A and B are shown apart, each in its own frame.
Chain A
Amino acid sequence: MIALGLEGSANKLGVGLILHPPKGGAAHILSNVRHTFVSPPGEGFLPKDTAKHHRLWIIRLVRQAMKEAALRVEDINCICYTKGPGMGAPLQSVAVAARMLGLLWEKKLVGVNHCVGHIEMGREITGAQNPVVLYVSGGNTQVIAYASQRYRIFGEALDIAVGNCLDRFARTLRISNDPAPGYNIEQMAKQGRHLVDLPYAVKGMDCSFSGILASIDILAEKVDANQGGRKDDLTNEVITREDLCFSLQETVYAMLVEITERAMAHVGSSQVLIVGGVGSNERLQEMMGIMARNRRGSVFATDERFCIDNGIMIAHAGLLAYETGSTTAFEDSTCTQRFRTDEVFVKWRE
């Protein structure tokens, strides 16, 4: 069976085509195309502009995906789209496109939970069996484990998501948003050497990032204004913008690894799967690997094609649901900004 997946819950618009072989086995990715709305340095992406971007690009991307996969419309079994969570206006644009294609091609629709899309794609690509999942992106920070037909949230960010914290700090420093603010912070952090003290906010399996952002924003102001050059306590060297990127990464990723380890100890699992855009950060993957090795476990991560929002994950999760007989009726093909991971009944797993 073949599914078309449309994703546009944030600033990435993704279209993917996936094939599930009739006798089971690994899924075939027929095409996976994406176009990202990049805002100027110092600015985030606004819902209005992002939705406009998606409307402008959706037809082109669907055409391109179909062409790459060399498929005819008749080959497609269902059209999957992101129902939520995400930004309202971009979600709506994509839902409208999905409905339009559904009517035009006379295909069933499947509304997909964005987070479940990430988890299922990560499992498919890495082959992780029953991992604890760390889902980290610009809008979401969750530690998830599967139990009796649901992806249960063990811990999560209590305020802003970790990716949002990084994105907004990139705005403070006016770092480029191309290809992604987090990527550019990661590159700068490689030059950083001094660790500045930042709040460390872990509560059980939950964590908080807004205080860290406020705190490092204040430090950034001082570095930029060069107010007497704040110095490192040990070496007496001047703190740089690179040091701030380094410190921010070290602090927030230590928090994420800590809550993941706690969840692993809690459920007795030795596998971790990292999904979501922040999951493509190599330092986070490295730290998670050290933790997992010390527990005699292993870490699974995917590269940017599958970590960062994409259409193929929506196609994959949607097709899993479709194969168990669940579709979304045309009149129910809405989208929602709030759609928790544990609301989805996972019929396709043991």
Chain B
Amino acid sequence: MKNLKVAVAGNPNCGKTSLFNNLTGSHQSVGNWPGVTVEKREGLIKYKKLKINFIDLPGIYGLTTFSTDELIARNYLLKEKPDIVINIVDSTNLERSLYLTTQLIELGMTVILALNKRDLAKKRNIKINKGKLASYLGVKVVTLVASKNRGTKKILDKIYRIHNGKEQVNKVQIKHFKVIEDEIARIKDLINKDPELTDTYTARWLAIKLLEKDSFVRKNIKASKLYNEITETADKSMEFVKSSFNDEKETVIANSRYGFIASVIKESVYSKNTDFTKLSDIIDRFVTSKYLGIPVFLFFMWIIFQLVFNISSPAVNTLESFFNIAGESIIILFGKNIITKVIAEAIIGGVGSVIIYLPNILVLFLAVAVMEDSGYMTRVAFIMDRYMHKIGLHGKSFLPMILGFGCSIPAFMGSRIIENRKNRIVTMLVTPFMSCGAKLPVYILLIGTFFPGKWQGTILFMIYLTGVITAIAAGSFLKKYLLKGAPSHFIIELPPYKIPSIKNLLIHMWNKTWIYIKKAGSVILLASITIWILINYPVNNELNKNHTTLIRQIHSSYARGDISSIEMNKIISSLERKQSIKRVNSSFAGKIGHFIEPVIKPLGFDWKTGISIIAGIGGKEIIISTLSTIYSVSKQDHSGLRQALVDDPEFDLTVGMSLLAFTLFFIPCLPAILTFFKEVDLKWTLFMISYLTVSSYIFSFLVYQGGKIVQQHLL
């Protein structure tokens, strides 16, 4: 039997994500919408022998063509024709919510209207007559409290009954004013003359959209031989409608939808007007205030970075010792051969060095999820709007930038909420300054190695803050000189605050963390093994022969009694160390590293760091795994990367700071660059690569040279 296709649609912040999580639980898969890199979530479940495939549509307010989100939802509904659409709405805000509903009905969808936040509506004395609402709109109505997972079964039951024909949905037409209906009929008649036009869309929907001057629908019917006649009629009709309503805008149709909604609400909703100050308003007085807004935001961020360090450090230390012991044990148990060396040095040394930072990543993702789910993030957009506006962007640009703390890829995708293309490109160009989750391990390694415990959280906070300030400054520059254009308009809903549900947080956090783990098991594993090979090959036979000869000589001098056994072991281990350094130097990696060393020398980097940075283009964590693999091969021990850096006299605080700066400003990883290219074009992708490379070089140079001067004067 075919799977039933059920789409979930609704405004942002109406509880859509909770409902989708309730319906699908852990059976979720995340992919992309065709043609665009916008996240698409699906979930296949079984209910009473019925296989239902749920599709989460982007959160939207309408089905116009103003944003990518609306277009995606609309195209999906038109082309895929889902069997049922669950339209979740906020019961306490029915008028605005029903605006989308009317457009779903106009599309001819079979709609289950899910009235969410029933508990809140009751508290506010809003009574909704479900029967009347259902019959006026021609939909099925179900009440629920998505945040408490109440009413989920009712929805599944409704789907089941509608599918089995036990319940009929008596669809209705949204009746517009008579003047408008007459014009719709006129255009409809014309459309019906060309049967090809009504293959995918209904004539009525096409007529309404043509009347509204919907550019996409116009493009779609261009092939029709009646194109000119239809559009001319539609234009004339619009002029007539406008003049009869004494209105000069096409939005007269939209107003007419609101007219319909108003009469439906009048008949089926009873609410006593109760005026009360909500907790949200009190919180907002501080959080969005002109003077306190920014300090409060910075304070929250500071707390988050303290937590990132402090909560997770015991777990990180445990994981690190575990991997160190595992590496040693494998060599001890199975002896030294090529397989155990690959496992100990490349897999455990490389991949393990990245995995140990999982606890930090978890805490950061959890914090960002709490900020998003509680409703605080929209306030951040508002308080940042003041500054973003000054540089010609608006507050909404800050939302994808915050997503950039997780990963640049969703941040690039998330910038679709910015309507103006130029502003969108500026936002995407500055997003790499928002340190992504993969940079976090690099910071934690370096800060953890070179700074005392109580300062670590604050230093980390300062790094992120430097990134944010640089992003704003760079945005201002780009907007002023390269991507001039009108600022786009800022409007955003500030939903009431809510305590995020644990379930949603966990799903949110897990989806992101899983990506990190998958990356460690694939890209980073591959990179680590590649680097391991590059370090160990080509085998220099002459070097090995000389070494063996030397060792033999030492053994024979011990046999002759010239040296004691303690002396012999000392000499041998020192020889072993020198030998492995020589070997690494003559390897492929060593040769490449030495080749680029002159370029990076002014930044304080030796060839090891150089190789790591290049490898790090595949993913920032690879900087760590590469360093770790190089050190564990050349040092011939498995005491961990932190210890190795402490032991390396060349790698001091100034070099560490320089590498911090370099990581903060350098180009994003390859997958992110590809996403940027897909979303924009080659010209701007090349621009991004060059301006980030130059800026990272300059900053890192300044930090290293400045650090050296300070060091000389203090010593």
Partners in one complex: no
Please list the residues of chain A having a beta carbon within 8 angstroms of any beta carbon in chain B.
none
